[in-house]
Amino acid sequence: MQLYSTQHQSPDVSLEEAIFRGLPPDNGLYMPTSIPKLPRTFWDTIENLTLQEIAFEIAHALIGDDVPADDLKELVNKAIDFPAPLVAIEDDTYCLELFHGPSMAFKDFGARFMAALMSYFLQKSAQQIHILVATSGDTGGAVAQGFYQTPNIDVTILYPSGKVSDIQEKQLTTLGENVSALEVEGTFDDCQKLVKQAFLDKELTAQFSLASANSINIARLIPQAFYYVNAYAQLKKKGLANEIVISVPSGNFGNLSAGIMAWRMGMPVKQFIAATNVNKVVPEYLQSGIYQPISPSLSTISNAMDVGNPSNFPRMQALFDNDLEQMQKMLTGYFYTDTETRTAMRVVYERTGYVMCPHTAVAYLGLKDYTQTLENPVTGVFLSTAHYAKFLDVVEEVIGEQAIPERLSALLDKEKQATKISTDYEEFKQTIIAAFSKA
């Protein structure tokens, strides 16, 4: 597999180099130099394949010989060990549930696959690496769970004290072993600053191999294509694979980029919906052709999508050959306020009994608004990116009932283990050096 930078100012690299570098030196994003189409026979018989089998075929087509087929099969089976079911909600309306992994958000697909790939390459070289991540919530949980007990890798997660939800904090701080949490007395920006400074610290990087688990890593994008194609397989099994519309709740647009990649690989899709909250940069771009970042981003109840300048946008452009008209043909944008989001959560719950997290509700709204504009019925799929219980405050307020599932009350009972630090860089540095030296 060969990857290029979307800025075209740095050399092509192998998969191994792309995943350990994260970002190309010219600050572009790595993209595959070619996106292969899967053969006709694959699509024609896809309903007979499992999610893991589909995942292998896609990964193999993209990755090629960088990971031998037998190793790749093992790696995929280890990383993708939870389902992604398609659940009927209303007539012609299906929810693709992506929250059945360990952190209960779709980011588990990316984090677990990246962990397995990194670990695979490191085993060959018997090297130890140290991952540093700053999180405002969801990413940290998926990375912690994804790298938990992974050989040759330890993870240090920095999170802002008092600024993540109880469930999110417990997901970061109760694992132990190769995962440690630093509770920073500051903001998410302070956490990010400490991590950035560590990567620039020559003394530190001379002694230890540091890596990031950034959301723009190509290893996180590839596995997100798996569940789109698996959704297609599930629809085909039901005889519903003719006119498919897929609505994706979006923030940094990694998820939607992966969907477009699946389409480029040959998956039949009529239309994608880019559904956002009031951080509506992309819906506006699709309307006007003007790309205007929002800074600072606006706070909403779908806070994992509070992104004012989506980092994967250049990938979306690349997938449409940097052609706005091509993009507009396949992609329609909608954005929603918190009031509209809450109303959708309540109405769907009252009508069907199905509870959606706020992000999922945004995708539901986008799907409904788009299908209303059509004369003929289509099969609509909206992506559920997190389990509703991760956003319990909003959910309980909207549906007016206690909604905590058993699996989470067990998590909340576990004991938190975190080291409190200030925003002082030297204190942070001494803390991680002590921890790394033990590892």
Ligand X SMILES: *Cc1c(COP(=O)(O)O)cnc(C)c1O
**How many Å apart are CA 203 and CA 426, to the nearest integer?**
12
Starting at the edge strand found earlier in the chain, the sheet holding 13-14 runs 13-14, 2-5, 30-32
- Residues 98 and 383 sit within 8 Å (Cβ to Cβ): yes
Q: What's the closest the beta carbon of residue 345 comes to ligand X, in angstroms?
A: 14
What DSSP assignment string belongs to 241-287?
-SSEEEEEE-SSSHHHHHHHHHHHTT---SEEEEEESS--HHHHHHH
Q: CA angle, 425 as apex, 421 and 427 as ends, to 5°? A: 45
Q: What's the closest the beta carbon of residue 288 comes to ligand X, in angstroms?
A: 21
| 28 contributes a contact to ligand X by CB under 6 A | no
| 333 contributes a contact to ligand X by CB under 6 A | no
Which one of 8-16, 70-78, 81-89, 251-259 is the stretch in contact with ligand X (CB under 6 A)? 251-259
Within a 10 A sphere around the Cβ of 125, how many other Cβ atoms?
A: 10
| 252 contributes a contact to ligand X by CB under 6 A | yes
Give, in order, the Cα–Cα distances in Å from 142 to each of 36, 108, 136, 221, 287. 29, 5, 12, 14, 34
Q: What's the closest the beta carbon of residue 425 comes to ligand X, in angstroms?
A: 28
Site track for ligand X across 93-122, x = CB under 6 A: ------------x-x---------------
Site track for ligand X across 303-332, x = CB under 6 A: -xx---------------------------
Residue 95 sits at φ, ψ, to 5 deg, of -105, 125
User: 22, 249, 314, 333: which one contacts ligand X (CB under 6 A)?
Assistant: 249
**What tokens were used for 322?**
């940097």
Residue 29, amino acid: L
Residues 255-274 that bind ligand X (CB under 6 A): 255
Which one of 245-253, 265-273, 277-285, 347-355 is the stretch in contact with ligand X (CB under 6 A)? 245-253
Which one of 1-9, 25-33, 40-48, 244-252 is the stretch in contact with ligand X (CB under 6 A)? 244-252
| 355 contributes a contact to ligand X by CB under 6 A | no
Residue 269, amino acid: V
The half-sphere exposure of 76 on its side-chain side, counting CA atoms within 13 A, is 25
**What tokens were used for 339?**
């009031």
Q: What's the closest the beta carbon of residue 305 comes to ligand X, in angstroms?
A: 5
Check the CA dihedral 245-217-153-432 and report its sign.
negative
Cα-atom radius of gyration of the chain, to the nearest Å? Answer: 21
User: 22, 141, 251, 366: which one contacts ligand X (CB under 6 A)?
Assistant: 251
Check the CA dihedral 214-220-221-222 and report its sign.
positive
Q: What's the closest the beta carbon of residue 138 comes to ligand X, in angstroms?
A: 4
Site track for ligand X across 129-148, x = CB under 6 A: ---------x----------
Q: What's the closest the beta carbon of residue 221 comes to ligand X, in angstroms?
A: 9
| 386 contributes a contact to ligand X by CB under 6 A | yes
CB nearer to ligand X: give 160 or 432: 160
Site track for ligand X across 289-308, x = CB under 6 A: ---------------xx---
CB nearer to ligand X: give 170 or 359: 359
The 3-state DSSP class for residue 140 equals helix
Binding site for ligand X (CB under 6 A): 105, 107, 138, 249-255, 304-305, 359, 385-386
